[in-house]
Amino acid sequence: MAPAIKLALNGDEGGSDGSERVRQVIFLTDGCVGNEEELFRLIRERLGGSRLFTVGIGSAPNSHFMTKAAQLGRGTFTYVGRVEQVREKMSELFAKLETPVMKGLEVRWPHGVQAESWPARIPDLYAGEPLVLTAALDKLQGDLQISGERDGQLWQATVPLARAPTGEGIAGKGIAPVWAREKVASLMDALREGTPEDEIRARVIELATAHRLVTRYTSFVAVDKTPVRPPEEEAKLAAVPTLLPEGWEYDKLFGELPQGATDSRFALFSGSLALLIAFAMLLARRGSQ
């Protein structure tokens, strides 16, 4: 993948030819992206003013890589699960690319409100996309100011924070983990950018345990209360066949032994049979006449 990304992303800031055009790069793959970190670094270094859109096709594209790459590339990730969806999803994407972008989005929190909001870098908005921000606030009051630039013109909106729904029953339980997940993601980005791991690790574990998240440092452990194997019996080791993602073929991935047969016997037999039947039918007809 690296050579393709190097070729497509040239670090150009855009607008060098005097126009206000946004350079849009589409990255299309069916899956196995391995060297994620190297590619992320490449994208970060060479993106410049371009936008990177990723399209994953098939049952097992590397969704983590594609989502993250699109985020770094200030674009979006499109997932096409089945071949029949290609037309629909791709025309959606192209419609998105052809409509104007809202750039330079900025969010201003009301005065006196402590806000910790994610993502830190707000992506550009394309047609049909919502702006999703998660923030931890100390109090809900005042107006949230959102501004952006669309077709060279200033756009602004105001959201009164006091009207945000609160409380356990409404959205409180769901939103906190979303916010925490975003924060973990940005911490992991910081790690990639060179913050020492010890510091990141401590902060991620603290967040993850508070909000029950699976991260690089935390995972769920299920404890079965009803053991099915008597404790004195020893467990057996056995190889279990690896399952492949749907639509993948074992032979293509791992190869197979040469195929050692021809159809010659079948052809000789069926040919003789057909001729024999024809001959018998001719004889029978002649006999009846």
Partner 1 sequence: MSRKREIALGVECAWTPLPEPRRSSWLWIVFITLLVALGAWELGRGAWIQAKAWLAQSLIAHAWARTLSGERQAKPWPWADTWPVARLTVPRLGIERYVLAGADGTAMAFGPGHVSGTPLPGEAGNSVIGGHRDTHLAFLAKLKPGDMLIAERADGRRVTYRVSAMEVLDRREVWVTKQEGPARLTLVTCYPFDAWRAGGSQRYVLVAFLS
**Residues in contact with partner 1 by the rule CB under 8 A:** 250-251, 254-278, 281-282, 285
Kindly state the smallest distance separating residue 265's Cβ from partner 1, in Å: 6
Given the complex with partner 1, which of 153 and 288 has the nearer CB atom? 288
CA distance 133 to 150: 19
Given the complex with partner 1, which of 94 and 266 has the nearer CB atom? 266
Given the complex with partner 1, which of 232 and 251 has the nearer CB atom? 251
Kindly state the smallest distance separating residue 277's Cβ from partner 1, in Å: 6
Asked if the bond preceding 119 is cis, omega within 30° of 0, the reply is yes
Given the complex with partner 1, which of 170 and 274 has the nearer CB atom? 274
User: CB of 58 within 8 A of CB of 247?
Assistant: yes
Kindly state the smallest distance separating residue 237's Cβ from partner 1, in Å: 18
Which residue's structure tokens are 């993850």? 208
Q: Is 68 exposed, middle or buried (0-12, 13-18, 19+ CB in 10 A)?
A: buried
Helix (H, G, I), strand (E, B) or coil at 284: helix
Given the complex with partner 1, which of 94 and 250 has the nearer CB atom? 250
Helix (H, G, I), strand (E, B) or coil at 67: helix
Helices (H), 9-141: 36-46, 63-72, 86-98
Kindly state the smallest distance separating residue 256's Cβ from partner 1, in Å: 5
Spatial neighbors of 69 by CB under 8 A, at least 6 apart, are 27, 39, 40, 43, 52, 54, 77
CA distance 26 to 97: 10
Kindly state the smallest distance separating residue 251's Cβ from partner 1, in Å: 7
Kindly state the smallest distance separating residue 275's Cβ from partner 1, in Å: 4
Kindly state the smallest distance separating residue 208's Cβ from partner 1, in Å: 41
Tokens of 129: 């996309």
Please work out, in degrees rounded to the nearest 5, the angle formed at the alpha carbon of residue 107 by the alpha carbons of 104 and 113.
Answer: 160
Distances (CA, A) of 159 to 108, 124, 217: 11, 19, 37
Given the complex with partner 1, which of 219 and 262 has the nearer CB atom? 262
Given the complex with partner 1, which of 202 and 275 has the nearer CB atom? 275
Given the complex with partner 1, which of 10 and 272 has the nearer CB atom? 272
CA distance 248 to 96: 30
Kindly state the smallest distance separating residue 258's Cβ from partner 1, in Å: 3
CA distance 247 to 135: 40
